[in-house]
Amino acid sequence: MKAVFIKEPNQVSVNDIPSPKIGGGDILVKMKACGLCGSDLEKVYGSYGVVSNRLGHEPAGEIIAVGRDVKDFKVGDRVFVHHHVPCYSCHYCMHEDYTMCPDYQKSNIDPCGLAEIFLVPEWNVKREGVIKLPDAISFEEAAMIEPLACCIRAINKADIIDIDDVAVIGVGPAGMMHILLAKAYGAKSVFALDINQFRLDFAKRMGAKLAIDTSQEDAVKTIRDATDGRGVDVAIVATSSTKAFLQALELTRSGGKVVLFGVPPKGSTAQLDVNRIFSNEIRLIPSLAASEIETRQALELIRSKRIDIKSIITHRFSLKRAAEAIKCAHEAKDAMKVVVTS
């Protein structure tokens, strides 16, 4: 079978490898669709700041084999698979800090989501890491469940209400999902900030009130002018850029919230005026990944069509063209969400 691996910095390869061997509690899935995430691009082109170096963690597919001890799934089931699953019983999980669970990053699918076939280990199967798909959800839509769930976790932390102005800094695929969610959750207005004109135009079509090119205009002044001088109630940093993080602090109102969503590269630093953050009670809210709770919320939003998630898919590539797919997503000249199919 074929699977995609990082060959060297800035380059991937599609390799022929043996199919995973199934154990008694495991499941084998034939990948039908897998989205490319910004973290995949960071692993290939940057210095990813989280543990896993496997490519593809947004897979959906069809079960082709189940272990002898598996009772709740059968061959032919259409499923979404979450690559990381917490234990749900440790100190962190008891505090609902599921993504901080020591077992969360240790759990994973094998060899990765960008593979013709992948194994879901017993750990994931037993802890809600596999969800059957309703007929109303296509494999491509199901490949969007994981990234949407991550965005839902961030939006839930921000606790957006209907009088809120929201800024999304970095409107790639994740940023676009934050725009869709902020609007679905009732935000009064959403502002999109980026340096990519294609993405800004896309954000306007998705409902952003203003799409601001931060390389051309003073984003802080533009947003304060549009919010009676206050600044936004919530700023979501959906990029790994520390410059964007510092900008978020400047355009957020006193008492507002800055959600740190994009994964900063290892060793990232920023010089902060801590007194300003304290004096203005600006709340910093990091949000990493998602749990089964947000995963099921994402599935329901897609199933009910409350979120038109398919509208942000712009490119589709076969697995053998994965290198082209990754390059397309990285350059982002005319691409939003890129999906790989087998």
Q: Give the C-alpha separation, 71 to 57, whole Å.
A: 25
For 159, half-sphere exposure in the C-beta direction (CA atoms, 13 angstrom radius) is 4
Q: What is the pLDDT of residue 265?
A: 82
Domain 2-143+308-341 = CATH 3.90.180.10: yes
Q: Over its length of 342 residues, how does the chain's per-residue pLDDT go in tens digits?
A: 999 999 888 899 999 999 999 999 999 999 999 999 988 998 898 766 555 689 999 999 999 999 999 999 999 999 999 999 999 999 999 999 999 999 998 999 999 999 999 999 999 999 999 999 999 999 999 999 999 999 999 999 999 999 999 999 999 999 999 999 999 999 999 999 999 999 999 999 999 999 999 999 999 999 999 999 999 999 999 999 999 999 999 999 999 999 999 988 888 899 999 999 999 999 999 999 999 999 999 999 999 999 999 999 999 999 999 999 999 999 999 999 999 998
**Domain 155-286 - what CATH class?**
alpha beta
Locate the domains of the chain by residue range. 2-143+308-341, 155-286
**Rounded Cα distance, 192 and 315, in Å:** 22
Dihedral of CA atoms 212, 151, 248, 193 in degrees, nearest 10, equals -10
Q: What is the pLDDT of residue 112?
A: 96
Q: Are 57 and 66 in contact (CB under 8 A)?
A: no
Q: What is the DSSP secondary-structure string of 18-69? A: PPPPP-TT-EEEEEEEEE--HHHHHHHHS---SS---S---EEEEEEEE-TT
Nearest residue to 190 (alpha-carbon basis) of 176, 201, 306, 150: 176
